[in-house]
Amino acid sequence: MEIGPTLTTERLILRPPAHEDFDGFASMAQEEDTMRFIGGVAPRDAAWRGMAALAGAWALLGYSMFSVLRRDTGEWIGRLGPWRPGGKEGSWPGDEVGWGLKRAAMGQGFAQEGATAAIDWAFDHLGWDRVIHCIDKQNAPSIALALRLGSRLERENHQLAPPFETHKVDIYGQSKAEWKARRR
Amino acid sequence: MSLFDPNATPRIETERLVLRGWRKDDFEPFAAMMADAQTARFLSAEQRPRDRASAWRDMALFVGHWALRGYGLFAVEEKESGAFVGRVGAWRPECWVGFELGWGLARPFWGRGYAREAARAAGDWAFAQFPLERIVSLIHADNAPSQKLAQRLGMRIGASTIHAGMPHDVWEISRADWFRTSPHPAAV
């Protein structure tokens, strides 16, 4: 039984997190530079809880972040996709597609390739009108990716709800019409 | 990859309760339960009430635990009213002390024997479904009501440990002792 879809791109497979991904999640959670803007480094037990919450969100909401695997090697390289903890009734600032890859997988266009597939899927299956990305002001690589995806800065210094209440993010985004026009 | 579909969580009926899978609409009563200081004291690592966003992540974690492990904490419902009563069942996130039988009920439902009724049913299910030699319960050293319940379930106090920076005891019971302990529904 699947809790969510499997998407295939030129170089990647996107599917809901599974138990065999845990070593990948746990090792990425130890990468200080990778985790700096996405919650900070975390020990194995916290990494497991984070992965489990992604899987649980799939079951509760029908969407959540995907595990990202390389098609050529099968290797787990990160997680990305639709993210809105609490759903529409929650305090998240909107319908997000977020991304985070482990260090060794950065700089090869994987995040853009995966995020593009995830945004396509979200607009086609989740009834979203807009997509946003919550990004730390100092996270230059992610800001550059948001801009490459066609999103624009919409709101600055948005304060997230607990457990990230000490954290402010800038919100980038675009409408479904804008996305579809660019993808034609 | 093999994931358990949390929608396939078994449904277990006891005399007064139903143990079942989590539904979206469990969130409001679960968030209210975790916002209560007395209830949250021994159910959150910070010993403080949980804000709504954290409570949602807790619930997603419970559901994800089912998906990844194939077992987990059930949502517990009062048969007569349909009200959400709390969460009881199996708990073994990564790095945990063992296969835990855990319980936690919303305060309006304390003092009725519900935790015992649900924990007994969940333990019966766990031992029947999985080849466990024993189950454990990690209980805060000051949590007298849960210590009492563990005793009533036939559990014995084992190793002392520090969990989340606080003193806890690992209560435990073997498979044989679990099924020897009375009153067992099947034996009553």
Where exactly are the structural domains of chain B?
6-132
Evaluate whether residue A1 is within a structural domain: no
**Rounded CA separation A96/A128 (Å):** 10
Q: Between chains, do A162 and B53 touch, taking CB under 8 Å as contact?
A: yes
Domain that holds residue A118: 7-183
Q: Does domain B6-132 have CATH number 3.40.630.30?
A: yes
What is the residue whose two structure tokens read 């919409």?
A: A154
In terms of DSSP bridges, do strands B12-13 and A168-175 run parallel, antiparallel, or are they unpaired? unpaired
Rounded Cα distance, B157 and B77, in Å? 29
B163 touches chain A (CB under 8 A): no
- Euclidean distance between CA atoms B85 and B115, whole angstroms: 9
Report the number of secondary-structure helices (H) and strands (E) in chain B.
6, 8
- Report whether A101 contacts A139 (CB < 8 A): no
A2 within a domain of the structure (yes/no): no
pLDDT at B181: 81
Interface confidence, given as ipTM, is 0.94
Cα Rg of chain A, angstroms: 15
DSSP A161: P
pLDDT of residue A163: 76
Please tell me the distance from the alpha carbon of residue B21 to that of residue B84, in angstroms, as a whole number: 12
Does any domain span residue A29?
Answer: yes
pLDDT at A24: 98
Is residue A141 within 8 Å of residue A106, measured between CB atoms?
yes
Q: How far apart are CA A108 and CA A176, in angstroms?
A: 26
Residue A83 three-state SS? strand
Distance from CA of A56 to the nearest CA of B (A): 4
Q: What is the CATH number of the domain that holds A58?
A: 3.40.630.30
Reported as half-sphere exposure (CB side, CA atoms, 13 A), residue A87 has a value of: 18
| Probe site for chain A from B58, B94, B97 (most A CB atoms < 10 A) | B94
In angstroms, the separation between the Cα of residue A182 and the nearest Cα of chain B is: 34
Residue A172 lies in a domain: yes
Whether residue A148 lies inside any domain: the answer is: yes
- pLDDT, tens digit, 9 for 90 and up, residues A43-71: 999 999 999 999 999 999 999 999 999 99
**Residue B136 pLDDT exceeds 70:** yes
Q: Taking phi first (over 0 means left), then psi (-120 to 50 degrees means alpha), and beta for anything else, what does residue B165 get?
A: left
Among residues A16, A138, A168, the alpha carbon closest in space to that of B63 is found at: A16
pLDDT < 70 positions in chain A: 1
Closest partner residue to A53 (CB to CB) among B6, B24, B57 is B57
* Interchain CB contact of A62 with B (< 8 Å): no
